[in-house]
Amino acid sequence: MNAALPQLSIRDLDVVYESRGSAHHALKGVSLEVRAGEMLALVGESGSGKSTLGRAILGLLPESAHIQRGSIKVGDTEIVGLPERALRRIRGARVALIPQDPAHSLDPVRTIGAQLVEAVHLHEPRSNIATTRRMLVGLLERVGIKEPERRLHQYPHELSGGMRQRVLIAAAIAQRPALIVADEPTSALDVSVQVQIMALLAELRHEMGTAMLFITHDLGLASEQADRVAVLQHGTLCETGETKALFANPRTPYTRRLLADLPLFHEARAPRRAEGPREDAIVVSHLTYAYKGAGGRPGHKAVRDISFNVVAGQTHGIVGESGSGKTTLLRCLLGLITPDSGSVHILGENPARVEGATRRALRRAVQFVYQNPHVSFDPRNRAADILAEPLINAGLRDRSVRAERVRAMLERVQLPPAVLERRAANMSGGQSQRLAIARALLCDPKILILDEVVSALDVSVQAEILTLLETLQRQLDLTYVFVSHDLAVVRRIADTVSIIRAGEQVEHGPTETVFSTPHDDYTKRLLAAIPGRDLIRPAVLA
Amino acid sequence: MNTALARWRQRHDVTLPRLLGVLPVLMLVLVALCPGLFTPLDPLAGQTDERLMAPSATHWFGTDQFGRDVFSRIMHGSFSTLSAAMLAVAISLLVAIPLGLAAGLGGRRLSGAILAGADMVLAIPELFLSLSIITLIGPGATHVAFAVGISQVAGFTRMIRTEVVRVRATEYVEAAFGIGSTFWQVVWRHIVPNSLAPALSLATLRLGTAILAISTICFLGYGPSPPTPEWGLMITEGRNYLATAWWLTTFPGLAIIFSAWAATLLSRAIRMDP
Amino acid sequence: MIRYILSRAAQALLVLWGAFTLSFVLLQVMPGDAVLIKFQDPELGLSPQQISDIRASYGADESAFVQYAHVLGRTLAGQLGYSIETGVPVSRMLHAAYPTTLRLAVVSFGGAIMLAAAFATAALLAPLRPLRAALRLVPGLASGIPVFWLEIVAIQLVSFHWKLVPVVGVSGWAAAVLPGLALAIPISAPLTQVFLSAAERVMAQPFIDVLRARGASPLRILYAHVLPNALPPTLTISGLVFGEILAGAVVTETVFGLDGLGQLAQQAVANQDVAVLQAIILISVAGFVVINFTVDALHPLIDPRIRRTQAGGAA
């Protein structure tokens, strides 16, 4: 492979979004190069402009955006200013895209075969269908799909997420492009699948000598996969360098902050101050629940024989991939569904059995915080209405008393009083998650169930929210059930942990024990799959 | 005062396009309530020496076969069309809101029964349904409004039910239950406002449909009888002079289109996009 | 799959029965024998004996329930009864009238499909966003135009002014051209609106971007990918469109003086000829139900996802 040959070179790129007369610079003076066979990771938080850059390379900027200045060269072809027809000959043939969301990136009503054939025919209109299909069978095999002949006749919904992403990769490499733009290719996939997909991308890159621009928000993943890393902040490239050097010795304050906020797996949580033995806030024993199949027949079991307990004032982590039965488990904890067998006791009560006033009291004592706070707020309500609701429910009729409690709560969750007039839609992700926590706390709960509450947040905001949660737990003596797929975050916050797979609890116990000496194969695989597992915080930040 | 106004404007998202969208309907209402402000001429009394005159400076829209001023008749006719359309939409909302809420909030049986009923009614084209009702209760301006209103009930009920079901499934409704709100508190605070707001915007859109349906039935001759100035009826009467006096049919039609479009604009203006 | 089709068929029959009952209640029960009042008109010179014979023949002396059973029974046997106005069997009147309406329906439906296709393509692929937004408004505005007015203007301009198509003294397909095309405009409006909003939802999905990134042209994306995805929601309104065409025929045949089902319906309302009106309503409901059933049965063929869930549900 010719390492010296840049397959992508961007010079002084400025991209501007214009809407209603106001202009927003999404990218300012960005310059970078990706050489053949090399992977450059473009990392940045949301709104940094990393996706805009990917779209600009493909010539697919939205109409409201335009390139004000600069050049994008793929091989020796200048993309900027190229007419649409010429761009279409380059897209797919010389630059290919691996998209973010495999679930929605294939046409749902066409077969896999039809879509792959189309991908080839767009650039080789004369090729024979039979030959193309033979070539595609080989290609699908190459990307690790078993029974490729059969897959060609299947529809996207018949494939798993990982398989769909493999199909999309096959479509991307069908024309042997010189450059692949991979836009968060694994962020919608489970970690164990992520590892496989990233390994496949690495193999293909070395085999075909393709240059790869890997757009990601995940510093850990970038540190493992990329040859070089470019850090984008508010549209400006703040640091570029060899991966090892950059992670060992970040030069700019922004990169340093990113690395400081990144939850690292090998950093165990600080041991808690010793306390006397305390009662269990939650006891789950032999919990089993099956969704009812069609016509009242028993369907598949969503959770089987799960047992754990959570000591009051502590945090229990629940780790599981999609489809593991996490949601069913939480619904049992909240008393929304009644277990088929086994039992749940919360603060000594069985949520599925209690009635009337006890039920309402229990409901308020166990509060739920959602992954995506925006959709958990009535879009018509302002923050003031949102925070007033639990107080009104508690029978607090005096406005001034309510206002005082709301004010105190805002202070607690570190939100400025000005947010009261705003709707959640106009808040940042971090602000609205604080608001959701505030609403939950106004019910005076004993237990918070936190469902992937930091997964959608940027690392810096994630760190703030985790710190806030820890502070609140100390101050208010709260018990947490913390659901997450991010093992590094779980290790930081949880005292005990349950690892759940396909409805079964494969392992549980104190977090440190489980993570340092895992017994189950699945736990071991999960731990091995953590992106950036071996990353060590650079000495400068220590 | 100024800041209070500004805050009100911000809270209700009052923008210039929205205000402009309300304008045509306001104009229509003004014309309907005080047509005399816009035309001094009598819509009923004709001048025998001014029959079938083409549009001119004195008679902007010309005169009809009895020498009556077409512009004045259109202005005075707006009341009948507009009030009938509003009455129709009001009747259909009055029946459909409780039905739709019941279908959305009630149990499987109630909801199934209401939906099955709505499906049966929806299988009959609205015009046939209105005409059947008119066969039953007889022609006339109010009867037409009633017939059109009843014909729209099934469609409205379905629409409201769809909205209620959508809102019921949202995470914010689940969250409201989670913080200890009772069923009726959630219905009143979250489900009703969030499902009726889009439904009401669609209701204004239906105002335009009602205007069309009413003028169609009046055109077919089941509305008010001559010499009442009614747009659909004016077009029927004008058909006898199709080849010679184009203004007799063209202008009342334009008035109908203007009103229908005004309703469309209004519905866009009041649409709440949270 | 078979279970799915059977349940749909049962639902279709239920709707048909419900609509029949509703039209019976509206037209035949409520006024009692008010429709027969006209026979008491002294000008007809009918003796009380004759009147009571007529009443008996219409079953007007029976209770509402017996009347309902009678009408339902003869309708199921394919007997649509006799016109109250003329005494002619309703089926004979329908037989004479339907070809005119069928021709009108074919022209207007074909025209509406072509208009909707052309317009949707333009509205989705026009070069500038403001232009697309403006085009997007047109179907909504078009549905605000009263069809009778449109047809009158069409006669004035196309036949009288430009003298392109005659409207007097024509018959057969020639007579269906101008009214059919005029009716096509309001018929195409809801088709276009439903298709456009479905198409916009499809175009907002990530797979469209992926196709563009593979070098597919906008026209190819529209016809090979957006169209098959946006077609099912559009097809769900075909039953409604059929009803709209039939309702449109009432107005159109009145304006153009055509002797079709629409004219028949209009006269039936004018003369309170309930047997005829009910027969026409039944035809339109039957058409609606059959079309909807066909669309439901075809849906799994277009959308493979439905195929699976139904196979799962029936297994």
Domain final position from A264, A294, A315: A264
The answer on pLDDT for A228 being more than 50 is yes
Burial A99-136 (b: 16+ CB within 10 A, else e): bbbbbbbbbbbbbbbebbbbbbebbeeeeeeeebbeeb
pLDDT on residue C40? 57
Q: Where are the alpha helices (DSSP H) in chain B?
A: 2-11, 16-33, 70-105, 108-122, 126-137, 141-168, 171-178, 183-186, 192-219, 231-238, 247-270
Q: Write the pLDDT tens digit of every residue in A71-85.
A: 999 988 999 999 999
Q: Which two tokens stand for residue A508?
A: 């549980």
Closest CA relative to residue C107, chosen from C167, C49, C182, C1: C182
- Asked whether residue A397 falls in the same domain as residue A449, the answer is yes
The answer to whether residues A310 and A176 belong to one domain is no
Residue A242 token pair: 């060899």
Give the pLDDT score at C311: 41
Mean pLDDT of chain A: 89
Query: In angstroms, how far is CA A129 from the centroid of its own chain?
Result: 39
- Is the pLDDT reported for residue A137 higher than 50? yes
Whether residue A1 is contained in a domain is answered as no
CB A293, CB A515: distance < 8 Å: no
Task: Let me know if residue C309 belongs to a domain.
Answer: no
Considering Cα of B134, then B136, then B139, then B141, what sign does the dihedral take? negative
A chain contacts of residue B176, beta-carbon cutoff 8 Å: 378, 389
CA of C213 vs chain B CAs: smallest distance (Å): 31
- As for how many domains chain C has, the answer is 2
Residue A270 included in any domain: no
pLDDT on residue B109: 92
Domain boundary, last residue among C76, C108, C127: C76
Predicted local distance difference test score (pLDDT) of residue A210: 93
Those of residues 69-108 in C touching chain A at CB distance below 8 A are: none
Alpha helix ranges (H) inside chain C: 2-24, 48-58, 64-76, 90-125, 129-142, 147-154, 173-203, 206-213, 218-220, 227-235, 238-256, 261-270, 274-302, 304-314
The answer to whether A466 touches A434, Cβ cutoff 8 Å, is no
CB C98 within 8 A of CB C249: no
Q: Is the pLDDT of residue A230 over 60?
A: yes
Radius of gyration of chain C (CA): 24
**HEC string of A160-215?**
CHHHHHHHHHHHHHCCCCCEEEEECCCCCCCHHHHHHHHHHHHHHHHHHCCEEEEE
pLDDT band (50, 70, 90) for residue A532: confident
Q: What is the mean pLDDT of residues C69-91?
A: 82
The average pLDDT across A57-77 equals 91
Residues A341 and A368 both lie in one domain = yes
DSSP A271: P
CA distance C214 to chain A (A): 4
**Partner residue opposite C148 with nearest CB, options B208, B216, B263:** B216
Contact C155 B242 (CB under 8 A): yes
C126 with C202, same domain: the answer is yes
> Using CA atoms in the order C299, C186, B75, C137, what is the torsion angle rounded to 10 degrees?
70
- Kindly state whether residue A188 falls inside one of the protein's structural domains: yes
- CB contact (8 A) between residue A88 and residue C304: no
Whether residues A176 and A97 fall in one domain: yes
CATH assignment at residue C154: 1.10.3720.10
Share of chain A above pLDDT 70, in %: 95
ipTM here? 0.87
Q: Rounded distance, CA A172 to CA B69, Å?
A: 71
- Are both C284 and C216 inside the same structural domain? yes
- DSSP assigned state of C46: -
Q: Report the predicted TM-score, pTM, of the whole model to 2 decimal places.
A: 0.87
Contacts of A380 in chain B (CB under 8 A): 193-194, 197, 272, 274
The pLDDT value recorded for residue C312 is 38
Residue A116 maps to a domain: yes
A382 and A243 in a single domain? The answer is no
Domain boundary among A264, A291, A325: A264
- Comparing CB atoms, the residue among B128, B212, B263 nearest residue C284 is B128
How many domains does chain A divide into?
2
Shortest alpha-carbon distance between residue C288 and chain A (Å): 27
A51 and A143 assigned to the same domain: yes
- Rounded average pLDDT over C19-42: 67
Residue C58: its pLDDT value, please? 62
Q: How confident is the model at residue A94 (pLDDT cuts 50, 70, 90)?
A: very high
3-state secondary structure of A71: strand
Look at residues A163, A161, A146, A151 and name the one whose alpha carbon lies nearest to residue A112: A151
In a domain, C82, yes or no: no
In a domain, A398, yes or no: yes
Mean pLDDT along residues C207-212 = 95
| Residues C14 and C65 grouped into a single domain | yes
Question: Containing H/E element for A408?
Answer: helix A399-412
Give the neighbours of chain B: at least 3 Cβ pairs within 8 Å.
Answer: A, C
Token look-up 């509450």 returns A453
Average pLDDT over residues C181-204: 93
| Residue A104, C-beta contacts closer than 8 angstroms, at least 6 positions apart | C205, C206, C207
Model confidence at A264, pLDDT cuts 50, 70, 90, reads confident
* pLDDT in the model for residue B192: 93
Query: Is residue C158 located within the same domain as residue C209?
Result: yes
Judge whether residue C314 has pLDDT over 50.
Answer: no
The pLDDT, as a whole number, for residue A269 is 67
pLDDT: which is higher, B244 or A496: A496
Average pLDDT over residues C183-198: 93
- B231 and B215 Cβ atoms separated by less than 8 Å: yes
Assess whether A67 and A167 both reside in one domain. yes
- Give bridge partners of residue A6 from the DSSP assignment: A35
In this structure, the answer to whether residues A155 and A20 fall within a common structural domain is yes
Q: Does C315 touch chain A (CB under 8 A)?
A: yes
B36 pLDDT exceeds 50? yes
pLDDT band, residue B163 (cuts 50/70/90): very high
Contact list, B242 vs chain C (CB under 8 Å) = 152, 155-156, 160
pLDDT over 90 (residue B145): yes
Of B171, B176, B177, the CB nearest to A375: B171
Beta bridge partners of A444: none
**Do A67 and A40 contact (CB within 8 A), yes or no?**
no
**Rounded to whole angstroms, how far apart are CA atoms A1 and A209?**
6
Chain B: closest CA distance from residue A318 (Å): 21
- Answer whether residue C116 shows pLDDT above 60: yes
Q: Does A271 fall in a domain?
A: no
DSSP string, A517-528: S--SHHHHHHHH
CB distance from C225 to chain A under 8 Å? yes
3-class DSSP state of A63: coil
**Residue ranges making up the domain that contains C228:** 97-304
Which of A188, A239, A229 shows the shortest CA–CA distance to A39? A229
More confident residue, A323 or C148: C148
Any chain A CB within 8 A of the CB of C127? no
Q: Does C304 touch chain A (CB under 8 A)?
A: yes
* Closest by Cα among C79, C148, C284 to B129: C284
Percent of chain C clearing pLDDT 90 (strictly above) = 40
**C204 in contact with A, Cβ within 8 Å:** no
Instruction: Give the residue numbers spanning the domain of A423.
Output: 280-536
Q: Are residues A121 and A197 both part of a single domain?
A: yes
Contact assignment for B123 to C15 by CB distance below 8 Å: yes
Q: Is C27 within 8 Å of chain B by CB?
A: yes
* C272 in B contact zone (CB under 8 Å): yes
Work out the pLDDT band at B92, boundaries 50, 70, 90. Answer: very high
Cβ–Cβ below 8 Å for B180 and A393 = yes
Asked if the Cβ–Cβ distance from B274 to A380 is below 8 Å, we say: yes
Lowest mean pLDDT, pick from A197-206, A300-309, C192-201: A300-309
Alpha-carbon distance C84 to C270, whole Å?
12
Look at the alpha carbons of B144, B147, B153, B155 in this order and tell me if their dihedral is positive or negative.
negative
Residue A363's pLDDT band, with cuts at 50, 70 and 90, is confident
Tell me the HSE value of A99 on the side-chain side, using a 13 A CA sphere: 22
User: Cβ of A108 and C312 within 8 Å?
Assistant: no
Asked if A389 and B172 come within 8 Å (Cβ–Cβ), the reply is no
Does residue C88 form part of some domain? no
- How near does any CA of chain C get to the CA of B7, in Å? 30
Put simply, the answer to whether C215 touches A99 (Cβ < 8 Å) is no
Residue C310 pLDDT exceeds 50: no
State whether C195 and C281 are in the same domain.
yes
Residue of chain C minimizing CA distance to A171: C214
User: pLDDT, tens digit, for every residue of A421-430?
Assistant: 988 888 888 9
* Res. C57: pLDDT tops 80: no
A237, A264, A291 - which closes a domain: A264
How much of chain A is in helix, strand and coil states, percent to nearest 5? 40, 25, 35
Rounded to an integer, what distance in angstroms lies between the CA atom of residue A46 and that of residue A458?
A: 7
Do B175 and A393 make contact, defined as CB atoms within 8 angstroms?
no
The verdict on C205 and C64 lying in the same domain is no
Q: Residue A30's beta-bridge partner residues?
A: A13
Are A205 and A290 members of one domain? Answer: no
At A284, which helix (H) or strand (E)? strand A280-292
- For residue C159, the chain B residue with the least C-alpha distance is B243
Range in A179-188, A360-369, C67-76 with the lowest mean pLDDT = C67-76
Nearest CB to A367: which of B170, B178, B189?
A: B178
CA-CA-CA-CA torsion sign (B137, B142, B144, B150): negative
Q: Report the relative pairing of strands A65-74 and A77-78 from DSSP bridges.
A: antiparallel
Per-residue confidence band for C60, with pLDDT thresholds at 50, 70 and 90: low
Segment A408-431 shows an average pLDDT of 91
Share of chain B above pLDDT 90, in %: 44
Contact C229 A294 (CB under 8 A): no
Kindly state whether residues A53 and A190 are assigned to the same domain.
yes
Residue pairs between chains A and C whose CB atoms are closer than 8 Å: 80
Based on the fold, state whether residues A456 and A411 are members of the same structural domain: yes
Query: For B169-230, where are the alpha helices, taking DSSP H only?
Result: 171-178, 183-186, 192-219
C255 touches chain B (CB under 8 A): yes
CA distance B129 to A518: 72
Q: How confident is the model at residue C32 (pLDDT cuts 50, 70, 90)?
A: very low
CATH classification at residue A211: 3.40.50.300
pLDDT for C313: 34
Pairing of strands A315-320, A496-501: parallel
Say if residue C279 is in the same domain as residue C171: yes
Give a yes or no: residue A541 inside a domain: no
Phi, psi of A446 (to 5 degrees): -100, -30
Tens-place pLDDT, residues A113-124: 999 999 999 998
Answer yes or no: is A329 within a domain: yes
The phi-psi region of residue A509 (left if phi > 0; otherwise alpha if psi is between -120 and 50; otherwise beta) is left
- Is C73 exposed, middle or buried, given 0-12, 13-18 or 19+ CB atoms closer than 10 A? exposed
The model's pLDDT over B210-228, given as tens digits with 9 standing for 90+, comes to 999 999 999 999 988 888 8
Size of interface A-B (CB pairs under 8 A): 56
